[in-house]
Amino acid sequence: MILMYIFETYLDLRQHSALKLPTLPKNLEGVISQEKFEKSRAYRLERSHFRFLCQLVRILVESAILFFKVLPWFWKKSGHFVDLVGLNEENEILHTLAFLAGVMIWLEITNLPFSLYSIFVIEARHGFNKQTIWLFFSDKLKGICLSVILVPPIVSAAILIVKKEGAYSVIYLWVLTFVLSLVMMTIYPILIAPLFHKFTPLPEGQLREKIETLASSLEFPLKKLFVVDGSKRSSHSNAYMYGFFNNKRIVLYDTLIQQCKNDEEIVAVIAHELGHWKRNHIVYLLIANQICALLYIGGYTLVRNWSSLFQSFGFHTRPLIIALIIFQYAITPIQNLVYFAGNLVSRAFEYQADAFAKKLGYASSIRASLVRLQEENLSAMNIDPWYSAYHNTHPTLVERLAAIGQTDKEECSA
């Protein structure tokens, strides 16, 4: 963990140095306004300073938890709490739920100052935050209520599977995670997201007609087209799609509509998103995630039977939730390699989606929308290549514009 922290801090320092550069990259001169560059530079430098603090606190707290054996102490105390309220301390499900409740309270309390400062100081100072303190705590309360509703049955099912199924627990646990992922992908946009955002149908007009015409030309089974009130919380913009089979829906943030200069730029963003669908990127990522989940569960089952590992962390029993936590710590380097590989694939998919939008005739519009969203979201203009290779899920603006331009030349020569 400490070695990974040192490595990632080194990358953060490289990126911080890149952010301090006083001039735009040559390829963005005349493309990005100087005013937006200065605003972006100030915003990203402040976020970079804040990230250094957050990462330092995180590694200090996690190291202290392990070094001073806080986990076994907390597990023991949560068992005493179960016994105190008149329930059976030996019941692992009840014990685990009490432990998780304590962990959730701890995380909410310790993360609260950082969240408040990030949203109501940094984001507000740079013109992004739009939410009130009441809305912030309302969202927090809704999130806690959802956890209280969803976590107990999931945890109970997982513990029962491990205890009852023995050697086949890997397969059954994987089936559980797979079904849960499908269920969450189905119910989140329909039942959960509306608790936090208001979704309204995109009004009739040229924009709606253009999006529906584009979807129809690609045989995309568009059923509903929504606008979400993202501006209620932030000025950042986005667009996404969801749904299975012939029940697809597209969601536009109202900030995206406000920031783009014309309908063509918005449609170009949708064309990019449809490129992900047409190239089956979502399916590939779902398959990759399920393979990783199966490997993760398989590795966990090995740890669960390793008594000496539990003892080295200060435990004399082998609770399922503790095995998961220990395994999480143990595979930190492997997780970072998977994270790195995933970002490589994600960036390749972004290039393909851009090329797809360009092929549909939106080359100039996708360029314009990329530049405009880069400016409006105050994204980093100068990016260290090492930092980008490790952290970024999307290519930089310079790289994306260059790729679209290269596609132009290739088509002309063809």
8 A C-beta contact, residue 36 and residue 83: no
| 29 in catalytic set | no
8 A C-beta contact, residue 247 and residue 189: no
Q: Is 212 annotated as ligand-binding?
A: no
Q: Is 276 annotated as ligand-binding?
A: yes
8 A C-beta contact, residue 170 and residue 297: yes
Q: Is 350 annotated as ligand-binding?
A: yes
Q: Which of 273, 375, 376, 384 is catalytic?
A: 273
The DSSP secondary structure of 117-158, one letter per residue, reads HIIIIIIHHTT-B---HHHHHHHHHHHHHHHHHHHHHHHHHH
Rounded-to-integer distance, Cα 305 and Cα 282, Å: 35
Q: Which of 123, 264, 354, 399 is catalytic?
A: 354
Angle at 65 between CA 327 and CA 313, to 5 degrees: 50
Give the count of beta carbons closer than 10 Å to the beta carbon of residue 9.
Answer: 16
| 384 in catalytic set | no
Reduced to 3 states (helix: H, G, I; strand: E, B; else coil), residue 263 is: helix
Tell me phi and psi for residue 398, to 5 degrees.
Answer: -60, -45
The DSSP secondary structure of 149-189, one letter per residue, reads HHHHHHHHHHHHHHHHHGGGHHHHHHHHHHHHHHHHHHHII
Give catalytic residues, as residue numbers: 273, 354
Binding site listing: 272, 276, 350
Binding site listing for Zn(2+): 272, 276, 350
